Structure 1
Amino acid sequence: MNFRTLDLNLLRVFDQVMAEQNLTRAAERLAMTQPAVSNALRRLREALGDDLVTRTAFGVKPTPKAEALWPEVRAALERLREAIEPRGFDPRTQEATFRLAMADATAATLLPALVQAIESTQALTNVRVLPLTTRDPRPWLERGEADFAIGYFPQAVAALEAEGGQATIHHQRLYDGHYVCVMRKGHALAEGELTLDRFCEAHHLLVSFSGRAHGFVDEALAALGRTRRVVLTVNQFFTAGRVVTGSDLLTVLPYEFLPATGFEEELAIQPIPLALQGVHVEVLWHQRHDRHPAHVWMRERIVEAGQARQRSRTPAPR
């Protein structure tokens, strides 16, 4: 490939196809016809010597080379856009779409205040919430699959702080929370003190984004030489709360999330009989967006929503 003769407009097409994973939607975003997008991809494939994407029943699937190339292309296009476009951002006249990766409990806690902030300014901002499937969203942000990741990411944040100024992912604390042990009302452990022995002897339900039946509670138990029996794993906090209302399983949920379930009255709450670290909900983003005006505006709204959540928080039972 001769870079001097490469039509750089092909990279804009490639970026949108990768973002949408669908030729029709990419064509709509680019104000092009689908045949024109297909033709641009063909020319880029010939230049790069790689298929880049393969068709599927629901759109297109990128090749490994496309996956590796996309973050670099997107970062370069962002830098060009920042250099060419005016530095200001008016949310009432400029449309922007942001993808936020977060768990259902975080979304239920944070989104009401965030939507209110967007609507109150009459912003043309669109938010797309992506289901969180990992405790370490840094690869998502590196690849440009999400604009922000919001949640409790203790290991990822610790790694970022260790990297210091070398980190390509930035983070900011939104609010602090607490986890509590939850069960159905009438459960044998709902009354009286929930001791560590009784906690370990019970059967548990675990919210696990990866599907592994091992979480931070299990790590704390292992440090004490203890274990528990995890009967069921699910990938949503809402599902966990709903299941325990009709079973004898215990689960661990964010205390701030319980009012949003709609069935808080069916649940009994006990303090977790373990010394656990505090839960710190953070927002993470890639440095390529750090000074982009639209991203800065959205980040400020996210932080404001987190601060509103912190002010309205009620203490968890101890």
Structure 2
Amino acid sequence: MAVSFNTLDLNLLKVFDAVMEERSVLRASHKLALSQSAVSHSLARLREMLEDDLFVRTAAGMQPTSRAMAMATQVREALRALESAIELPTFNPAISTKLFTLAANDFTTLVLGPPLLNLLGREAPSVDLVIKPVTRIDLAEQLDLGRIDVAIGVFSSPPSRFRTALLFEYDDVLIVGAANKIEQIDKAALEQLSLVVVSFGGEQEGAVEGFISERGLARRSEMYDRAALERAFGNSDMLPRMAICLPHFLALPALIEGSELAAIIPRPLAKAFAGTYAIAIHELPYSTNPLEVRLLWHERVDEDPSHEWLHDILRRATEGLRRAA
């Protein structure tokens, strides 16, 4: 009799696998939480379908036939594959070798990186990261395609298919070389300075109010509050000179140290620079709007345990930044 997989009761294969492992109908019934007669009946049905005894009762227990031995490994692997497909996925960071891809600028990478690596070393030593630049790529497309797991940045009204969570807030401060003996920065002193500012290509790409929009996702491109600076000076013709516009923060300390240049940058970054470089931090003579650095991910990964863990560890890595705000 030909056996059709379409009419096969998969529970019979579970019984077969249990008897194969236990070599006992009684022990198999305990393992499956079935009665002994139910296991015997299922085994009889499978024997009839396959036209093979499958197991022979001996003094040493139920011994498999050659047909049973031939199919045992494949049956077990198939059952395990079905279980993993149906059961809720799990994630164990301590043993995982998963690779996560993040998108972030050099500012957030610098202030987030050390505490994040510390946490990964303790909790997920074999998890790897790829950090892509948040600029020069279409973030919305990369998130839609699953090529980026999470983006980190300042976003404006993301489309509904994306989810966000707050990491930390920051405002702007002014940094100068420590050799510049400036005791206090007022508007008169500020307008005499030559500034270095950071803009991620906004002027070339048509930024609106400091944001670049791609596929409905607007990300901040100007890394200083230009509007607050212009409001502070009103209609004055004596705005500070924008001497250099950089596409990243990396070169700032080398440009500021030992020069007359100054820069308006995020407060957490200024604190990080001051710990390594000879720079001084000054409060600006006007208020800047606090900006929220947020996580951004696609809605399809909302129930994925590995992504839930990733979002949690990123939030924990920025606890110090939230406390300092």
User: Scaled by the length of structure 1, what TM-score is found?
Assistant: 0.61
Structure 2 CA distance for aligned equivalents of residues 136 and 181 of structure 1: 31
Aligned residues with identical type, % of pairs: 23
Structure 2 CA distance for aligned equivalents of residues 230 and 92 of structure 1: 49
Residues 23-172 of structure 1: matches in 2 within 5 Å? 86-133=88-135, 137-151=139-153, 153=154, 156-157=155-156, 159-160=157-158, 167-172=160-165
Alignment-derived partner of residue 225 in structure 2: 217
Alignment-derived partner of residue 295 in structure 2: 283
Alignment-derived partner of residue 181 in structure 1: 174
Aligned-pair CA distance for 1:289: 1.6
Alpha carbons 1:209, 1:235 under 8 Å: kept: yes
Letter in 2 for 1:97: L
Deviation readout 1:156-214 (Å, 9 max, x if unpaired): 23x13xx6xxx111111112233210111232xx5233122332332111111116397
Alignment-derived partner of residue 302 in structure 1: 314
Alpha carbons 1:135, 1:209 under 8 Å: kept: no
3-state SS, counterpart of residue 294 of structure 2: strand
Aligned-pair CA distance for 1:83: 6.0
1:201 aligns with 2:192: yes
Aligned-pair CA distance for 1:267: 0.7
Aligned-pair CA distance for 1:132: 2.4
Structure 1 CA distance for aligned equivalents of residues 227 and 140 of structure 2: 22
Letter in 2 for 1:266: A
Measured at CA, do residues 217 and 178 of structure 1 come closer, stay the same or move farther in structure 2, by a change above 3 Å? Answer: closer
Letter in 1 for 2:285: P
Structure 2 CA distance for aligned equivalents of residues 95 and 186 of structure 1: 47
3-state SS, counterpart of residue 318 of structure 2: helix
Letter in 2 for 1:109: V
Structure 2 CA distance for aligned equivalents of residues 304 and 136 of structure 1: 27
Alpha carbons 2:199, 2:246 under 8 Å: kept: yes
Letter in 1 for 2:229: L
Higher Rg of the two aligned structures: 2
Letter in 1 for 2:228: A
Alignment equivalent of 2:281, drawn from 257, 269, 275: 269
Alpha carbons 1:202, 1:250 under 8 Å: kept: yes
3-state SS, counterpart of residue 275 of structure 1: coil
Alpha carbons 2:91, 2:305 under 8 Å: kept: yes
Alpha carbons 2:257, 2:277 under 8 Å: kept: no
Q: What value does the CA root-mean-square deviation take over the aligned residues?
A: 2.8
Letter in 2 for 1:254: P
Alpha carbons 2:301, 2:307 under 8 Å: kept: yes
User: Scaled by the length of structure 2, what TM-score is found?
Assistant: 0.60
Measured at CA, do residues 85 and 97 of structure 1 come closer, stay the same or move farther in structure 2, by a change above 3 Å? Answer: farther
Structure 1 CA distance for aligned equivalents of residues 147 and 272 of structure 2: 28
Measured at CA, do residues 89 and 146 of structure 1 come closer, stay the same or move farther in structure 2, by a change above 3 Å? Answer: same
Alpha carbons 1:258, 1:264 under 8 Å: kept: no
Structure 2 CA distance for aligned equivalents of residues 212 and 268 of structure 1: 29
Structure 1 CA distance for aligned equivalents of residues 106 and 302 of structure 2: 26
Alpha carbons 1:97, 1:128 under 8 Å: kept: yes
Aligned residue pair count: 221
Greater shift, 176-185 or 141-150, is seen at 141-150
Greater shift, 204-213 or 121-130, is seen at 204-213
Alpha carbons 1:204, 1:232 under 8 Å: kept: yes
Alignment equivalent of 1:244, drawn from 251, 256, 259: 256
Measured at CA, do residues 145 and 242 of structure 1 come closer, stay the same or move farther in structure 2, by a change above 3 Å? Answer: farther
Alpha carbons 2:228, 2:289 under 8 Å: kept: no
Alpha carbons 1:241, 1:251 under 8 Å: kept: no
Alpha carbons 1:168, 1:286 under 8 Å: kept: yes
Measured at CA, do residues 272 and 137 of structure 1 come closer, stay the same or move farther in structure 2, by a change above 3 Å? Answer: farther
Structure 2 CA distance for aligned equivalents of residues 138 and 197 of structure 1: 43
Alignment-derived partner of residue 74 in structure 1: none
